[in-house]
Structure 1
Amino acid sequence: MRTRYAKLALTISLVLSSPYTIAGGFQLSEHSAAGIGRANAGEAAIADSAAVIANNAAAITRFNSMQISISGAYLVPNVRVTGNGSDEGTNNQLTNNNVVDNVLVPSLYIAAPINDSWSWGIGIFSDFGASTEYPDDYLAGSIAGETTLETLNINPNIAYKLNDNFSIGLGVSAVYGQAKLTRTLGILADASNVNNGTSFERSDTAQSLEGDGVGYGFNAGLLWELNNDHRFGLSYRSNVDIDMEGDYSTFTQPGLIAKGELTLNLPSIAEFSGFHQISAPFALHYSVVMTGWDVFEEISGTVDGQEVLQKDENFENSFKYALGATYDINSSLKLRAGISYDETPNVNDVSISLPDSNRMSYSAGASYSFNDTNSLDFGFTFVDVEEVTFSEELSSELPGVSYQFRSKSDVYIYAVQYNLSF
């Protein structure tokens, strides 16, 4: 027993030691390799590993022994932003073929029964992250630069089985967030040099704000099991506000580093899922997810109560629809597939710092059980993001001066997950 918990402590410490690798698209759903292999269809109802904690705490009552799941998803995004104006030379200077770097998204989950009615679990994962970076001398550096958001959610849960058909779950979240916003002068340096006789470079930092903080939220879930072959899951994860504090600097006051503040408003997530074992080898599952993005109205940084950095976002609530299937080849091997459609919340103020559009995801995966206590999950997803065109104003100090852009993206996601029960 002592060795068992020593291994648990080591695993937790390894996951906690790498929070800065958790970043990708602004909303992350790469919670498990099994989920990735079915386009995250049915995640609040299936409960085939402890990773269900990320989607529905109530479903951990389905486990009759301790479950541990360790998952890692490797995201390979191809995000291309190009100029879309009438001048080809300017368009070329606005082109960046590598806006987002590859990233690893790890997660860890533990769930176990306390008795016949009560169960507990804890998840360590990320629901949100963003990372875009443009060259230091990028022409539109005043709206590009570097934008990084990293979050880590530590989420303990408790669940209670009301009867053979219904279970409820409740959890709390401590979400650590770290953000960095850096903007360079870009073409504003050229304009200042011509008009004011300065000697700025395009790569000079216009302003930078970097900070971190912790926010708190809760989650609740319901599992309705009609019988062993049919069940439904309903879950809700609250919005979280993270008040970040850190360092702010600007080219207008070189060498001066002030204490800056930024509040990050992360949205709520509500999910409805169904699972149906149609026949002995074949199961069908689905999900509808609503993300309450309307809380994300702007990115605003302040120093001593005065606004020093502001960007309108005006996101809207969005829906994701997913359909998947699982086929058991034999007692050891099962195959998965899925498809999903995900609406973008970024429809009002599209920005090259957070380029996004509606997307389709196509997924496939498999699981192999070595024995009754050890198994591996594999998942692959191809995400096809619609092309989007938009214009963006270079600076609030130059109203009406804007560039035209076109963005096209796709993402390849590879995932593996180890599950242990004892």
Structure 2
Amino acid sequence: MRFFNLHTLAISLSLAGLSSLAHGAGFNLLEQSNSGLGNAYAGSAAIAENASTIYYNPAGMMKLDGLNISGGVSAIGPSFKFTDDQQSTVPLALAGKVPPGGNGGEAGSWALVPNLYTSYKINEKMAVGLGISVPFGLKTEYDDNWIGRYHSRSFDIKTININPSVAFKLTQGVSLGLGLNVQHIQATYKKATPVPIPHPVTGQIIGVTTGDVKTKVSNTGVGFNVGLLFEPSEDTRIGISYRSRIKHKAKGDTDLDFTVLNPATGAPMSVHRSSDASATVSLPDLAILSGYTRLNDKWELLGDISWTGWSSIPELTIENKTLPTASLNLRFKDSWRVAVGANYQLNDSWKLKGGLAWDQSPVRSTENRPASLPDKDRFWLSVGVQYKPATNTTIDVAYTHLFASKAKVNNTNDDIAKYGRLSGSYKADANVIGIQVSHRF
């Protein structure tokens, strides 16, 4: 899990459809299969132990005979808390007119993230499959009157990805996989903002108040993924995979609500304004190099190096037709992840799993660490167990704890008059519990 961009992620998956609610940090979700969670997803593009290989490397479908179904769910419990260093401020126009506010409370909570895959090996040369997953998700949510409310009260990105795939055996020991990704995104952004108050007759600005802004946009985009699986020997596999960027040109609306005094009666009067809204974002591409080797009847070793092209999101700008534009200056950087893992075959029915990983954040500076994405590099410690109740059935259960050092922030979003200053630090960690059930017919 790329978690601090993952505060609350909640999804329901059924035959009727799938929906998601998420919070995150560099918000790429690795929990696309829980059979890999126990290894911290080391060897993800090479292991090919069930149909979830469709996401990590579709070429792995050539390792799966017959009809395969794999489904699972992760329970993700992130926690992060902001502490003000007494240097935070509200926007300049509101200084002395509104209370500064508190630390925002606990912004994390438990949520469920499911996945579902199926693959079918047509013959020794070809296999097909379908995956349903949530590759990106994010939600941060604070107390309404916290000190950073002019930066963000709530930021929520939801995605659903449908991934039909095909794999071919090119030569002995070399397989190729291709996939199409149809991805739906929905984003909601809530914040407070200063609102100038015009004179009802002259139009001259006579004051300023706080307004509540909510923007909601959505879009469906298309991308692809491709993978190669090399088998130098019966006990060794090397996987290389790539998932493309997906550009979303999302459209929706922005609502602004605020209260002013009625010039005729002097009583408070609620004002509502709305506008068509749009935002363009290119969700990042991902490349993985993985290795797997079986040392003997007991031990398996796995490794993983991955790169994510987060520089595709330098900022997130919401264009409003009749209301002011809102922008988050993220300045994301490309990031790397390294993971190692090992499996121990206890007996015919039980396998023990373990893994470690270092996951680099796309946020590199205190000035560009936004309240909506308070991200920081993190370390993974993972353990898991696989139980085989029958020849063609496996059940994986795993646990991961994510560690992160304090993330300092000193952010004005390049406009202290409009946003104020958010200054302090975040303390964060996360727990993930997952289960995956896989069966071959």
TM-score (norm 1): 0.89
After superposition, what is the alpha-carbon deviation per residue over 1:385-422, rounded to whole angstroms, capped at 9, x for unaligned? 22111211177361794231201110000001111110
Letter matched to residue 413 of structure 1: V
Letter matched to residue 104 of structure 1: L
d(CA) in 2 for partners of 1:316, 1:307: 27
After superposition, what is the alpha-carbon deviation per residue over 1:58-107, rounded to whole angstroms, capped at 9, x for unaligned? 1110011111011100100111111123699x999441341133221111
The equivalent position to 1:339 in structure 2, one of 356, 367, 386, is 356
Cα distance change on mapping 1:40 and 1:306 into 2, 3 Å: same
Cα distance change on mapping 1:62 and 1:400 into 2, 3 Å: closer
Which aligned pairs between 1:294-373 and structure 2 lie closer than 5 A? 294-304=311-321, 308-348=325-365, 349-373=368-392
d(CA) in 1 for partners of 2:102, 2:375: 17
Instruction: Note if contact 2:275-2:323 (Cα within 8 Å) is conserved in structure 1.
Output: no
d(CA) in 1 for partners of 2:383, 2:83: 31
SS at match of 1:33: coil
Hey, what does 2:140 align to over in structure 1?
A: 132
d(CA) in 1 for partners of 2:100, 2:412: 18
Give ranges in structure 1 of 5+ residues lacking alignment.
1-11
CA RMSD between the two structures? 2.7
Which aligned pairs between 1:211-290 and structure 2 lie closer than 5 A? 211-251=217-257, 254-290=271-307
After superposition, what is the alpha-carbon deviation per residue over 1:304-336, rounded to whole angstroms, capped at 9, x for unaligned? 498611111110000000000011111111010
Cα distance change on mapping 1:15 and 1:307 into 2, 3 Å: farther
d(CA) in 1 for partners of 2:414, 2:23: 27
Higher helix share: 1
Cα distance change on mapping 1:363 and 1:215 into 2, 3 Å: same
Instruction: Note if contact 1:267-1:294 (Cα within 8 Å) is conserved in structure 2.
Output: yes
In the alignment, structure 1 residue 411 sits paired with structure 2 residue 422: no
Instruction: Note if contact 1:230-1:277 (Cα within 8 Å) is conserved in structure 2.
Output: yes
Shift of 1:338: 0.1
d(CA) in 2 for partners of 1:372, 1:382: 31
d(CA) in 2 for partners of 1:301, 1:92: 26
Give ranges in structure 2 of 5+ residues lacking alignment.
1-11, 90-97, 199-204, 259-269
Shift of 1:279: 1.4
d(CA) in 2 for partners of 1:339, 1:400: 39
Shift of 1:240: 0.6
Letter matched to residue 191 of structure 2: R
Letter matched to residue 316 of structure 1: K
Letter matched to residue 161 of structure 2: N
TM-score (norm 2): 0.85
SS at match of 2:390: coil
d(CA) in 1 for partners of 2:229, 2:324: 45
Cα distance change on mapping 1:71 and 1:355 into 2, 3 Å: same
d(CA) in 1 for partners of 2:122, 2:86: 63
SS at match of 1:20: strand
Higher strand share: 2
Hey, what does 1:57 align to over in structure 2?
A: 58
SS at match of 1:314: coil
Name the count of aligned residue pairs.
Answer: 402
d(CA) in 2 for partners of 1:16, 1:91: 47
